[in-house]
Amino acid sequence: MTPVNRNRLVALGALLVAGAGLAFVAFGNIGDNLVYYWSPSELLSNADKAQSATIRLGGVVQPGSIQWNEAHTTLEFRVADDAKPDSKSVHVRSLETPPQMFREKIGVVVEGTYDQGGVFTSNRLMVNHSNEYRAPKEGESPRKWQDTLAEGATTATATPPGAP
């Protein structure tokens, strides 16, 4: 066999291996075994499996569920499957100040443990951003959110304790 033909066979072989590998990754359902995070409904239906191990829970911060205590830096909120008010959700307790992006209805991934009482104790809170990038709306100035917040100009404020 000439070197040229050998090289062409090598190319064919390598391409076949690459194609097979890619097909395996794309269609081989390895995603089922390597789940980056569980959704609240998955966690609730597999509560026994979830306990006593560090897992990730991902979902949306349920509107109206944020309770932030600055004095003790305790943050409690519910992570829901989606932003609908009646979707399944899990109570999360976190002991750190969340990233500034944290708000109601934003996607979050929390890392921690789920205990018998149905509370997820998070030691790592991550916020995931959507793929949308938008200019501020008329009259908004992102560099001065503190001021606009004080004027009550936005709806995405923290829920004050005792608010309905």
133 is in an annotated binding site: yes
72 is in an annotated binding site: no
Tell me the chain's radius of gyration from C-alpha atoms. Answer: 23
One residue of 1, 86, 117, 160 binding another protein per CB under 8 A: 160
Q: What are phi and psi of 31, to 5 degrees?
A: -60, -30
Write the DSSP symbol of residue 144.
G
The closest of 119, 117, 124, 113 to 52, measured between CA atoms, is 113
**Number of other residues whose CB lies within 10 A of the CB of residue 114:** 25
Site for another protein in 1-20 (CB under 8 A): 3-4, 7-8, 10-11, 13-15, 17-19
Structural element, H or E, at residue 33? helix 30-33
Q: Between 98 and 117, how does the x/- string for binding to another protein read (CB under 8 A)? A: xxxxxxx-x--x--------
**Closest CB to another protein among residues 3, 117:** 3
The closest of 67, 77, 122 to 95, measured between CA atoms, is 122
Site for another protein in 42-81 (CB under 8 A): 58, 66, 68, 70, 75
Rounded to a whole number of angstroms, the minimum distance from the CB of residue 101 to another protein is 6
Stretch that binds another protein, among 44-52, 81-89, 114-122, 149-157 (CB under 8 A): 149-157
